[in-house]
Homo-oligomer: A and B are copies of this chain.
Amino acid sequence: MSHVLVVDDEPGLAHALGITLRASGWTVTTADDGAHALAAAAHHHPDVVLLDLGLPDMSGIDVITALRAWTRVPIVVLSARQHGEDKVDALDAGADDYVTKPFAMNELLARLRAAVRRAAAPADGDEAVVVAGALTVDLARRRVLRDGTEVRLTPTEWSMLEVLVRNRGRLVSRRQLLQEVWGPGYSDETHYLRVYSAQLRRKLEDDPAHPRHIVTQPGMGYVFEA
């Protein structure tokens, strides 16, 4: 099923949400302030973020803005204020939906499902399995086969390959790659790209010195060619 990041500083509510969500088949990560939320989002790549606007360290709007700087993950906002201007602010900042406390749990679940479904829908071109020469990349099962035998990838290697394969045939800029794999704040760590592109090539390419699938576009980024 899908993965949800719950951001809430009230331990009781966060706990209750976690139990209910897990009972509904979600996997759950929790964060109790904005900084941890951003770190967790970058690390876990949740399918949806459930964000309480009342956080101790930074405003919820800032969290939304920071997330929207690098990801389109759906954000469902949770707020105590019933008639707050912050509804408008949150939606304009890039939130996808808004739930006011108190809320019915089944309504919240429906909104989360709707948010995930909306986000998944435009990804039409996504087939779960992409074949490129001797390579078979199964995006759903997170597996790669080369000449029919499985290749073991580390989490970071897989993450980078996944971004490239989902954008196969088109250039992925260094910046985009760094942000999607390592998260915001890593936009300039271009060295990571060199290290990991080399590792992927060593594991996936027939001739790592002359790669046919993971192609460098000097000065710009990388492309996965099928």
- A residues with a Cβ closer than 8 A to B are 72, 83, 87-88, 91-92, 95-98, 104, 106-107, 109-111, 113-114, 118, 121-122, 140-143, 152, 154-155, 158, 169-171, 217-220
Contact = CB atoms under 8 A, between A and B. Distances in A.
Interface hub of A106, A113, A140, A171 (most chain B Cβ within 10 A): A171
17 contacts: A72-B121, A87-B107, A88-B107, A88-B109, A88-B110, A91-B113, A91-B114, A92-B113, A95-B114, A96-B114, A122-B122, A140-B170, A142-B170, A154-B219, A155-B218, A155-B220, A158-B220
Contacts of A155: 218-220
A152 B98 CA distance: 45
Contacts of A141: 169-171
A201 B25 CA distance: 53
Contacts of A217: 142, 152
Nearest to A221: B142
A48 to B, nearest CB: 13
A135 to B, nearest CB: 18
Given A154-B219, A155-B219, A158-B220, A91 B104 contact: no
Contacts of A92: 110, 113-114
A96 B121 CA distance: 12
A140 B169 CA distance: 11
A121 B92 CA distance: 14
Given A141-B171, A170-B140, A88 B72 contact: no
Contacts of A114: 91-92, 95-96
Given A87-B107, A107-B88, A158-B220, A118 B142 contact: no
Nearest to A141: B170
A71 to B, nearest CB: 12
Contact of A118 (B96, B107, B110): B96
Contact of A83 (B72, B88, B104, B109): B104
